[in-house]
Amino acid sequence: MLATAIHHLEQTLKSATGIAVAYSGGMDSGFLAMASLRFRPDATIALLVSSEFMAPHELDLAEQLARCFNIPLKRIDMSVLNHPAVCENLADRCYHCKLMIFSHLREIAPKGWLLCDGSNIDDTSDFRPGKRALKEVGVISPLIEAGFTKALIREALTSWNADAFIRPAQACLATRFPTGTHLTIDMLRRVAAAETLLREAGFSRFRVRCHGNIARIELPPEDFQHALVLIPSRIAMLKAVGFRHVTLDLEGYRMGSMNEAGA
């Protein structure tokens, strides 16, 4: 199955004039950038957007991985909070944000090159309002067309000695806030700082959801005992970054929890 998927991907990439990959340093876009470099080493570029929604840790890691695997990288600094429909954080925020970002990437990508993202088959069942924007801009998702699931992507990365890309998905910082919460740079930095404290404590799968001055920490249930030992010693630091109350969500870590009713 993996060989078939790679063959289809190779055919798509080799038939293109060039490939510009919307790269975040995550597993999916990292794999697509590596595949493009493997099959079109003369016509590949990874485009990394640095905005207020990307945590500094993620930005640094994305650049580090690109250097490690010799992926040609262009970093684009842009503000997404300049768009009123983005900072108001309504239900269609992701659409407006993606439309803004990918329209800019389309302008930057070499003329005639494919602009690609790392969406895969597993993503098609998720609630992803930004997909409409990608279609409008003409972004293609070659991993979907080739039949890649996340499991196949992990298998391919391992076979290519690129396990460093295999890690939990990291959604943008805007997903830490309830729909309708007006987003500011200070709020985003506060959440990023809180998550840095948890990362430094040794946690790898988590979210800090922000409800005003309350930090709701999501962790896998198997980490609860560890959290009850470690987090109390960091309460003062979590409050120092701007939270008044720190809570542990007993439902545990789950992607898209801000999409739940009543969030």
CA distance 263 to 211: 9
Mean pLDDT, residues 70-87 taken together: 96
Q: What residues contact 143, with CB distance under 8 A and at least 6 apart?
A: 9, 28, 31, 32, 118, 119, 120, 121, 153
User: pLDDT tier at 259 (50, 70, 90 boundaries)?
Assistant: low
Best CATH choice for the domain 2-165 from the list 3.90.1010.10, 1.10.357.10, 3.30.360.10, 3.40.50.620: 3.40.50.620
The domain ranges of the chain are 2-165, 173-259
- Sign for the CA dihedral angle at 246, 238, 97, 33 comes to negative
User: pLDDT tier at 123 (50, 70, 90 boundaries)?
Assistant: confident
* CB 145 within 8 Å of CB 12: yes
| pLDDT score of 45 more than 80 | yes
Mean pLDDT, residues 94-102 taken together: 96
* CB 49 within 8 Å of CB 25: no
Greatest Cα pair distance, the chain, in angstroms, is 56
Each residue of 144-181: pLDDT tens digit?
999 999 999 999 999 999 999 999 888 899 999 999 99
- Sign for the CA dihedral angle at 232, 234, 237, 242 comes to negative
| pLDDT score of 261 more than 90 | no
CA distance 206 to 199: 9
| pLDDT score of 262 more than 60 | no
Identical fold, 2-165 and 173-259: no
Q: Is domain 173-259 given the CATH code 3.30.70 in the classification?
A: yes
Each residue of 48-66: pLDDT tens digit?
999 999 999 999 999 999 9
Q: Which tokens hold the place of 186?
A: 């200070």
CA distance 34 to 29: 9
What is the model's pLDDT at position 260? 62
